[in-house]
Structure 1
């Protein structure tokens, strides 16, 4: 597949790196330094030029392209690039945008702007934050199969009841599968004899209820679903969307915004949110507002340094959990290393959403695990799949190593896979795979 990516920033570079081994990738960016960096770091054709210009698109081979991904930081540029691509060839177009209003317009007007699929960074980030808020102790979480299956990544605490146990001993939850373990730089497929150690990151897939019960086992002091006192710092678009989504769940968060006009606008648009106009770094204000009693503080300001400061202040005051938006992907591990419970990188989430279109059109949903070391895919089984009409025991020998079937849904019912489970056409399977074998697995599922 020939893919043209407009924009060599974090999103574009991440997508290009993921596609370079198996696809013909062309990256276009107006910044010559970015083009040079990409040329030496990834095996792609990098072109300096304006991605909205027909001569540039023709140089990139738009007439032979299967897909164009417009991933710059400018909404209008991305939309124009998709429109221009449609003039140049029969190509599937994906546009990244930040403004939810553009996504709403696109949804209402049946592929407006020449865009076949639109990804809204701010809305995706807000949805990821709300998912994390609903699952205390999780470092990462994603719903699959319409919400009937959940993937979650947990760090094993030193004082956890499962620390030192084998997976077989820790597996005492209905509808839950231990699929992967991240220890240092390695990704392991969990076996019954695998020992869970403090500091490991374990990935589980199962029903939302079982995943929550496992989270409660790891951190009994944080009861899943108990986050009722929620404070959002920053009335950015992400902060607003988080508050709106929490209101949809029947919650009444508090939101702190320093700008007077923005605070007034948010107060009018969020009827069930208490909007407070203040500087969130004011210790006196935070103490007066009992931030120490908050179940979670979500820092959604526009600067990483501010989000780190607010998160650490909240934790110092006694907040149970701190979630922060991190614009620079390289900072995610740093944030979590110094005490932030979950760091959400909008660009990584956007790249994850776009990547699911690159697995030969088979992946219904996808989640990237721990800096793209592994992936979780949801695939609907068709007659060509090696799983169709066979038991898992019969099929697994033909799948690549480092692949695990984590869950199955059949007519909305969650099934936990066992060796004698027979897969039927129309089933949805949720699969954990190490990144280096994902494409091989997706090709035969």
Structure 2
């Protein structure tokens, strides 16, 4: 497809990278000539220097033939204007990034009145992911399918865990747990395991199950799965606002430490049920005074990655609570993964994930639709949910007779609300929602899992 991206910041450049890898023709627009040159060269895309809300600039970028325009500049209003002009000039879908909390209660109105295909709020999306983890702190990350009926949970096998040295198939026979192991990350390798695969300490394991069965599994392996009762957030930006709002809604006590006095006053008005502390979140004495050693969860959400990493390392040394670390730019994944940072949240990747999911849905073939998409294991694997149409090639064939590609697993079938853990004799039928996990990236249709 022909896709135009307006804004080459963190999210825009990430989108250019991922969508170019998916084989789309990309054009990028930004007012910064140097950034346009870097992004267009790196991702083999057309670069246009100019204001993305300009009719002439959009025409130069190819709006008249474009299928989709994505506006992710630093200004909500500019993003909306870009999309409005694109709708008038070209016959394309539009996606706008809108971050300001002022618009959060008007998103549906804005989307409908401006004819937008999608409105994405990176901070709100990241806050939702953090909230899921804090409600289930045993997990590193949680992705949801089937409107929350099924969850994909990542967790680290701790030293001394009863999972150490048992095979995948023994989880069902010895622990009597109805969960499916989807992936195992060991060192730098991501594995789709078979039943004979032996789990080891320090493995990062992904399981898929209903929420109830996941809770039962974590209880049986001796890991606490109760929601946290309180949270300490460092930094009072938009992410902290959205997160605090969600946590308070679940009855979790929230304390925010923010250095800027004016921002503290704003947060006090927006979040009357939260405790807002005006102070330096990097001050160890202040953190101790505010109870870091007793807090059940700690989230470093400042605008500086290095500060967030150091804060989380300090918190890890002082509390046994759940640690959350926001990272925007740092590219040293191998270093970050060896640090005790708890759950690492990348808002730009979460945003790109939602948009790539939408693009794949636009690209659907006849047999099935991509309903949900999550990039997992640092983009080395994907979990996809497909809706099965009547023309799908897989209907009526037992799974054990399907000529499946390597390195994938059919994890779950949702049949009219009934969650099925697939076995060899099970067949896919029209109307099913099928979840597949694979290290083969870029599937557009459920039929892509077949050889030939």
Common topology (TM > 0.5) = yes
Aligned to 2:237: 236
CA distance change for structure 1 residues 442 and 373 in 2, over 3 Å: closer, same or farther?
farther
Q: What is the CA–CA distance in structure 2 between the aligned matches of 1:96 and 1:248, rounded to whole Å?
A: 25
- Are the counterparts in 1 of residues 159 and 201 from structure 2 also a CA contact under 8 Å? yes
Aligned partner (choices 358, 367, 376) of residue 374 of structure 2: 367
Alignment of 1:263-278 (within 5 A): 263-278=264-279
Aligned to 2:98: 97
Q: How far apart are 1:89 and its partner, in Å? A: 1.1
Q: What is the CA–CA distance in structure 2 between the aligned matches of 1:437 and 1:114, rounded to whole Å?
A: 28
- Are the counterparts in 2 of residues 386 and 444 from structure 1 also a CA contact under 8 Å? no
Equivalent position SS for 2:169: helix
Aligned to 1:421: 426
CA distance change for structure 1 residues 101 and 140 in 2, over 3 Å: closer, same or farther?
same
Aligned to 1:192: 195
1:434 corresponds to 2:439: yes
CA distance change for structure 1 residues 31 and 340 in 2, over 3 Å: closer, same or farther?
same
CA distance change for structure 1 residues 61 and 348 in 2, over 3 Å: closer, same or farther?
same
Alignment of 1:13-412 (within 5 A): 13-20=13-20, 21-171=22-172, 172=175, 174-216=177-219, 220=222, 222-330=223-331, 334-359=335-360, 360-361=363-364, 362-394=369-401, 396-397=402-403, 399-412=404-417
- Are the counterparts in 2 of residues 332 and 345 from structure 1 also a CA contact under 8 Å? no
Residues 213-262 of structure 1 deviation map (CA, whole Å, 9 limit, x = unaligned): 444556x3x51124113222222111111111111112222222333343
Q: What is the CA–CA distance in structure 2 between the aligned matches of 1:273 and 1:103, rounded to whole Å?
A: 19
- Are the counterparts in 2 of residues 189 and 402 from structure 1 also a CA contact under 8 Å? yes
Q: What is the CA–CA distance in structure 1 between the aligned matches of 2:170 and 2:306, rounded to whole Å?
A: 42
Equivalent position SS for 2:375: strand
Residues 411-435 of structure 1 deviation map (CA, whole Å, 9 limit, x = unaligned): 2232211112222222211211224
Residues 87-115 of structure 1 deviation map (CA, whole Å, 9 limit, x = unaligned): 22110101112223334323134523442
Q: How far apart are 1:403 and its partner, in Å? A: 2.4
- Are the counterparts in 2 of residues 173 and 210 from structure 1 also a CA contact under 8 Å? no
Q: What is the CA–CA distance in structure 2 between the aligned matches of 1:38 and 1:321, rounded to whole Å?
A: 37
Q: What is the CA–CA distance in structure 2 between the aligned matches of 1:298 and 1:331, rounded to whole Å?
A: 20
CA distance change for structure 1 residues 173 and 253 in 2, over 3 Å: closer, same or farther?
farther
Larger deviation: 166-175 or 245-254?
166-175
CA distance change for structure 1 residues 236 and 114 in 2, over 3 Å: closer, same or farther?
same
Larger deviation: 434-443 or 105-114?
434-443
- Are the counterparts in 2 of residues 311 and 340 from structure 1 also a CA contact under 8 Å? yes
Query: What 5-or-longer segments of structure 1 have no aligned partner?
Result: none
Report how many aligned residue pairs link the two structures.
441
Q: How far apart are 1:357 and its partner, in Å? A: 0.9
Larger deviation: 165-174 or 350-359?
165-174
Equivalent position SS for 1:211: helix
Q: What is the CA–CA distance in structure 1 between the aligned matches of 2:113 and 2:335, rounded to whole Å?
A: 40
- Are the counterparts in 1 of residues 393 and 447 from structure 2 also a CA contact under 8 Å? no
CA distance change for structure 1 residues 181 and 440 in 2, over 3 Å: closer, same or farther?
farther
CA distance change for structure 1 residues 236 and 349 in 2, over 3 Å: closer, same or farther?
same
- Are the counterparts in 2 of residues 229 and 293 from structure 1 also a CA contact under 8 Å? no
CA distance change for structure 1 residues 282 and 109 in 2, over 3 Å: closer, same or farther?
closer
Equivalent position SS for 1:305: helix
Residues 333-354 of structure 1 deviation map (CA, whole Å, 9 limit, x = unaligned): 5444321101111111111111
Equivalent position SS for 1:104: coil
Query: What 5-or-longer segments of structure 2 have no aligned partner?
Result: none
What TM-score, normalized to structure 2?
0.89
Q: What is the CA–CA distance in structure 1 between the aligned matches of 2:232 and 2:197, rounded to whole Å?
A: 39
Q: How far apart are 1:126 and its partner, in Å? A: 0.7
- Are the counterparts in 2 of residues 401 and 437 from structure 1 also a CA contact under 8 Å? no
- Are the counterparts in 2 of residues 78 and 97 from structure 1 also a CA contact under 8 Å? yes
Q: What is the CA–CA distance in structure 1 between the aligned matches of 2:385 and 2:371, rounded to whole Å?
A: 5
Q: How far apart are 1:119 and its partner, in Å? A: 0.3
Q: What is the CA–CA distance in structure 1 between the aligned matches of 2:444 and 2:100, rounded to whole Å?
A: 32
